[in-house]
Every structure is written in structure tokens, then in C-alpha cells.
Amino acid sequence: MTKEFSRRAFLSLSAASLGTSVLADAPTRSLRPVLRPGGVKALPVSAPAADALIRESGLSGKLSFAVARMGDGAVLEGHQATNGLPPASVTKVLTALYALTYLGANHRFQTSLVAVGNISNGVLRGDLVLRGGGDPTLDTNGLADLARTLKAAGVREVTGQFLVWGGALPSTKRIDKKQPDHAGYNPAVSGIALNYNRVHFEWKRGANGYSVAMDGRSDKYRPEVDVARMKIVKRSVPVYTYKSQGGRDHWTVASGALGKGGARWLPMREPEVYAGEVFRTLARAHGITLKTPKKTNNAPRGAVLARKQSPALKTIVKAMLKYSTNITAEMVGLAASQARGAQPGSVKASAAAMNAWAAQALGMRNAALVDHSGLGEASRLRADEMAVMLAQAGQHQVLRPILKTIALRGSNGKVNKAHPLKVNAKTGTLHFVSALAGYVTTPDGRELAFAIFGADVNARDRLIGPDRERPQGARTYNGRAKKLQQKLIERWGTVYGA
């Protein structure tokens, strides 16, 4: 970001008026483009009607869109724009604004080691607590830094317990209960999250069968863990089964699905013990022996022996929007609700606090989100409210620099780097749900804000069991939705860009 985000300036923006009428029938063809200096390619003169593009797409379910003029937020064109539809990961755009507003662009989360007791001659006579501070970027390398700092502080022995506290944020075993158990994008949420609360599962086939490893690896370390266990079972389906037993994650995997070897990240349901086991291994490498880690519900009070800070929040949310990391969205959203003065006991309660903020500060009075990531299919946003919000100067100043550049394609289906339209936006994808919202810049430099939401809710309602991972027809739906999104953007660039 080239300019620091001002919380006061943001909150002082008046809510956008949605009284502007949505044009039911915008022009079918644009005015003839004027030849631009410097050889810049003009968009085609012809611009098919939006209704025709929708019919030709073959997209099932419902579609809603709105495109708004920058500055005053006047809605230039819309289709079913007042209908609320699932926004999927477009939700993260609101979460980014919410977190930046209440935490600030330079906010840093902190993970620390706390001594609950006295230290004498290198011996901590008491407990050592790994205290999570809500950092969604904490990885194994970060824990290694903490272990190194602990050694540098002169600690070589701990007589008490080794405890891990994740109570800085409300905890849940899954972001969304309807997702497959083994979906790495749907882990537990807690005040401590190591490696995005995912454990690495690797398998290799040898002369005597398969060998498996469960670890919290990074590019430098591969500490094995016991809190997540894997058993290979002779079967073809289901590929994975999961159960929680004795405070551990117990997995089975079908031998018929393994092949010669491979690896994948699985979600972690016991984040405190997971982080504790990894740190214990790293501490042992520095000659510090710790007892088996245990989760504690009591916030530790004592001397801080080591600290690990996250990158600045503006860096975190930019990566969140680029890679669409669900746990990052939930953690920064929960932290923002707390900073706002709410005391949410769950992700859903925190999302309700964000809805109230969106209504008050952004004029999005119909926002109905159930989480901060968009993973929950019950969330609803309106295209007109989203487009108008994006068009306001304050939001544009914050969001435009951190939204991902979306590559448009040529008639051959390949990425066209020379395409005259430039798009910065956030995508959102669930099975039978496809969304896109952000900004399009025309060749003459004019910017438009837009939101496109598409969903076949009936098709989603039919998803059960194993069908939820790779349901028939979902890939076709997504492909059609993306083609339609580009055609609509190209239409707007032609009609409203001159």
C-alpha cells in the first residue's frame, strides 16, 4: 500500500446511498470508441446485452450482478442486484476492511513463551507456557526462533509443566461442519495456529508395504507429531475417515488410493497440542527438555522469555486475499470483533458483529454472513451493496492496492497479457457457487466497481457425504461462471469505459 490506512478517515465516510435505480436495460451497443494515442487497443464496438450473455452461458441457478461508477457509487447496470446470494471467498474483502479498521494496518500479532515461576541458574522452577496471540502466519520456523531465543535467555531446564494456551480467540474444531473431514482448508480455529493448523501426511511404498509420517514440517525442519495418527486400511473407499479420541486426531486412509507415494496437508483439530509437540521437539534440539505438552484454558501470567511477532496486518490481509486462506480470515475477523468491543464466543457471533459494522459503516444493511472466510454456504450478500461499497473513495483507496490481479483470457482460452481491460478483484468459489468482486480499469484509465454472484443452491443442497468433495457437474458450473464473468466485464468496459 502506498498510503497508510486511516481508521478515523474510514469510519468518517458516510454510508453509500443505495437509492440509485438499477438500470434494467442498459445500452446494447456502445458508442464508437475514439482512437487513443500511443497505439492503445480500443475495445470492440459491439457489446451484447447482459441478458443475452446470461442466457448463452448455460449457467444454472441464480445470477446477480451490479456495476457502479467510482466516486458517487451510482449503479450503472444490474441484474437481480438486490437478491442476496452466497459470496464464497468474496467475503474476505469485507473481512480485510473490518480487520484494518479495528486493528490497524501496522498491527502485529505476538506469540510468546511465558515463565510461570522463578528462574535460577538456568532452571525454571515452575511452568513454561507457549502463549498464542492469534497469529495466523505462525509456522514451524517461527517456533524454532522461539526455541533459539529461549536457549539464549539461559533456560536449560523446566521443572514444571509445559502448557499451551490458545484462548486469545474462541475455538472451534471446524470452520464449517459441512465440509469433508480431510479438507485442509477447513481446520480448527484457536488463538494459536501452526502451519495454518494443518499437519503434513506423507506416504511411501516399499518392499514391506507403506511407511507413513505425520509432521509439522517447514522448509528447514520436519518434527514428527503424535497428536495426529494415520492408519492404512485395505479398502478403496472412502479415501479417509476421521475420529477424535483421547485428545488426538485418528485418521485412516484407503490403501487403494495411495499409489507409490505422495503427500498432502490434513486439517488439525487439536492446535494447542500440535504446536506444543512441535515446539518440544525444537527445544530438545537446543538441549531443553520439556514435559509432554498440555492445553490450558487459563491465560498465563508471568515473565515473557521470548516473543515472535507476525508481519504487519496489511501484509497478512494482502496474502489472505491472494491465496484465500480461510483460517487467516477467521482469526483476523475474530480479533477485529474483539478490538471493536464485542466478546464473540464463536465464529458465527463474530460474523454477526461484522454484519452490524458493515450496515453501519458501509451502508450494507443486508449483509448476512455466518463467518469471515465465506466457507459457510448460508452467508448472503447483495451485489448492489457490494458494488456501491467498493466504489466509495475510502474503500477504493484501501482495497485497490491489495486485491489480486485477475488475468483475462483471449478467444483461445489462454491468458491474454495484452488484454485492454485490467481487473483487480477477489474470487469466490464453492461447489456450484462462483463470485467475483473488485475493480476493472478501461484503456482510457476509467475505473468501475463491480460484484458478480452466481449460485445453484439446489445443486448444493443435493451434496451429501463423499459427493461434497468432487461432485459431478461442479467443475462445469465453475467454468461457465468464469466465462460469463469475463464477458460481463468486457461488456461494461465497452459500454461504460468511453
For residue range 89-103, what is the model confidence (pLDDT) as tens digits? 999 999 999 999 999
For the stretch 105-120, pLDDT in tens is: 999 999 999 999 999 9
DSSP state of 403: S
Residue 1 within a domain? no
Residue 420 within a domain? yes
Residue 488 within a domain? yes
Q: How far apart are CA 432 and CA 458, in angstroms?
A: 9
Respond yes or no on whether the N-terminal peptide bond of residue 466 is cis (omega within 30° of 0). no
Q: Of 158, 101, 163, whose CA–CA distance to 129 is shortest?
A: 163
What does the pLDDT read at residue 330?
98
Q: Are residues 288 and 345 in the same domain?
A: no
The region, left, alpha or beta by phi > 0 then psi within -120 to 50, assigned to residue 180 is beta
Q: Are residues 356 and 281 in the same domain?
A: no
Q: How far apart are CA 349 and CA 334, in angstroms?
A: 9
Contact 133, 307 (CB under 8 A): no
Strands 162-165 and 422-430: unpaired
Q: How far apart are CA 311 and CA 136, in angstroms?
A: 10
Q: Are residues 364 and 479 in the same domain?
A: yes
What does the pLDDT read at residue 410?
92
User: 462 or 259: which carries more pLDDT confidence?
Assistant: 259
Q: How far apart are CA 92 and CA 98, in angstroms?
A: 9
Given 285, 310, 335, the domain boundary residue is: 310
**Hey, is 75 helix, strand or coil?**
strand
Residue 319 within a domain? yes
Q: Are residues 443 and 326 in the same domain?
A: yes
Q: Are residues 337 and 434 in the same domain?
A: yes
Q: At what angle do helices 326-340 and 313-323 cross, to 10 degrees?
A: 140
What CATH number is given to the structural domain containing 240? 3.50.80.20
What CATH number is given to the structural domain containing 371? 3.40.710.10
Least confident of 24-38, 406-420, 442-456: 24-38
Domain limits for position 242: 109-310
Residues 6+ apart with CB under 8 A from 378: 86, 370
Q: Are residues 460 and 488 in the same domain?
A: yes
Given 257, 285, 310, the domain boundary residue is: 310
**Hey, is 309 helix, strand or coil?**
strand
Confidence at 45, pLDDT banded by 50, 70, 90: low
Task: Give the three cell numbers for residue 378.
Answer: 448460508
Domain count, the chain: 2
Q: What is the pTM (predicted TM-score) of this model?
A: 0.90
Residue 2 within a domain? no
- Dihedral angle, C-alpha 310, 129, 297, 183, nearest 10 °: 50
Q: How far apart are CA 356 and CA 183, in angstroms?
A: 30
| Kind and range of the H or E run holding 10 | helix 7-12
Q: Are residues 295 and 188 in the same domain?
A: yes
Cα dist from 256 to 114, 233, 239, 261, whole Å: 47, 9, 8, 12
Q: How far apart are CA 107 and CA 263, in angstroms?
A: 35
Q: Are residues 20 and 124 in the same domain?
A: no
Angle at 170 between CA 241 and CA 245, to 5 degrees: 30
Q: Of 240, 249, 242, 291, whose CA–CA distance to 270 is shortest?
A: 249
**Strand partners of residue 345:** none
Q: Of 379, 423, 382, whose CA–CA distance to 66 is shortest?
A: 382
Q: Are residues 286 and 317 in the same domain?
A: no
Q: How far apart are CA 199 and CA 212, in angstroms?
A: 13
User: Is residue 3's pLDDT more than 70?
Assistant: no
What does the pLDDT read at residue 467?
52
Task: Render 337-362 in DSSP notation, one character per residue.
Answer: HHHHT---SSHHHHHHHHHHHHHHHH
Least confident of 20-24, 124-128, 281-285, 360-364: 20-24
Residue 291 within a domain? yes
Q: Are residues 99 and 165 in the same domain?
A: no
Task: Give the three cell numbers for residue 302.
Answer: 508471568
Q: Are residues 297 and 391 in the same domain?
A: no
Q: Are residues 234 and 262 in the same domain?
A: yes
User: Is residue 334's pLDDT more than 80?
Assistant: yes
Residues 6+ apart with CB under 8 A from 193: 132, 135, 136, 138, 187, 271, 327, 331
Residue 357 within a domain? yes
Q: How far apart are CA 70 and CA 75, in angstroms?
A: 10
Kindly give the residue spans of alpha helices, DSSP state H, lying in 131-270: 140-152
User: Is residue 286's pLDDT more than 60?
Assistant: yes
Q: Percent of the chain having pLDDT more than 70? A: 89
Q: How far apart are CA 44 and CA 47, in angstroms?
A: 7
Task: Give the three cell numbers for residue 409.
Answer: 483470457
Given 259, 287, 310, the domain boundary residue is: 310
Residue 403 within a domain? yes
Q: Of 441, 409, 439, whose CA–CA distance to 422 is shortest?
A: 441
For the stretch 8-26, pLDDT in tens is: 333 333 333 343 334 434 4
